Amino acid sequence: MKYVTGIFAALLAVLLLYMYPLYEQARSQDKIANTIVQSASTQFIDSARTKGYITPQMWNDFNSQLSATGNQYDVKLEHLHKLTSPNYSDPADPATFKGDFTTYYTAYYNDQIMPVMFPNNVLPTDDSSRRYTMQVGDYIGINLTNINRTAATQLWDFLMNDNTQQTASVLMNYKGMVLNENY
């Protein structure tokens, strides 16, 4: 019995002296990654809002900031293009205009945005045809999630003898209205 207690005490000491500090260090890395992702995403979206466009260089700079965290990310862009439509009591008769408009938004995502910035041609990255342009009143947003299991998640699963299958520990959602058309 005395021998079993000694082994248990040694295992507990290893756990408390080595594993928990290692886990806390990994968690602090996740917090630092969150801060970097938040800063990079805010800077990227605010720049796009202020300029009214996204260039391949802006996208590449944003991705290089994300890669500094050591994580892999699923980045989803969303552009909501503002449209207005006049209201008529009889749509076939322009004289029946009611004097007001309906506002609606058309959504564009990575599948529509990326081919504009990265077409299948050899144009330089600073060519104006490779800009993804927006208009004042549109909304641009980003949804970002890490797709790899961070060290903190792996250590937590090891310590708890669990397999959470959780990968998302770095999350970011940021949206805003386009303020300028500086193109």
Cα gap 173→100, rounded to integer Å: 33
Stretch 118-123: mean pLDDT? 85
* Strand pairing category for 139-146 and 171-177: antiparallel
Q: Which two tokens stand for residue 129?
A: 């045809």
Check pLDDT > 90 for residue 62.
yes
Give the lowest-confidence range in 41-55, 81-95, 135-149, 157-171. 157-171
**Chain segment 21-40, per-residue pLDDT in tens:** 877 787 888 888 889 999 99
Stretch 33-52: mean pLDDT? 94
- Domain ranges across the chain: 2-177
Q: What angle do CA 5, 8, 9 make, to 5 degrees?
A: 85
**Chain segment 100-109, per-residue pLDDT in tens:** 999 999 999 9
Beta bridge partners of 177: 139
**Chain segment 128-171, per-residue pLDDT in tens:** 889 999 999 999 999 998 888 776 776 766 666 666 666 666 77
Would you state the pLDDT for residue 59?
Answer: 96
- The alpha carbon of 131 is separated from its chain's Cα centroid by a whole number of angstroms, namely 20
**32 torsion bin: left (phi>0), alpha (psi -120 to 50), beta (else):** alpha
Cα gap 41→176, rounded to integer Å: 12
Would you state the pLDDT for residue 120?
Answer: 85
Tokens 């060519």 — which residue?
127
* Strand pairing category for 139-146 and 53-54: unpaired
Would you state the pLDDT for residue 110?
Answer: 95
Would you state the pLDDT for residue 1?
Answer: 65
Q: What is the pTM of this model?
A: 0.79
* Strand pairing category for 73-88 and 97-109: antiparallel
Would you state the pLDDT for residue 165?
Answer: 66
Confidence of residue 20 (pLDDT cuts 50, 70, 90): confident
Cα gap 105→135, rounded to integer Å: 12
Rg over CA atoms, the chain: 25
H runs (alpha helix) in 52-99: 56-67
Would you state the pLDDT for residue 182?
Answer: 81
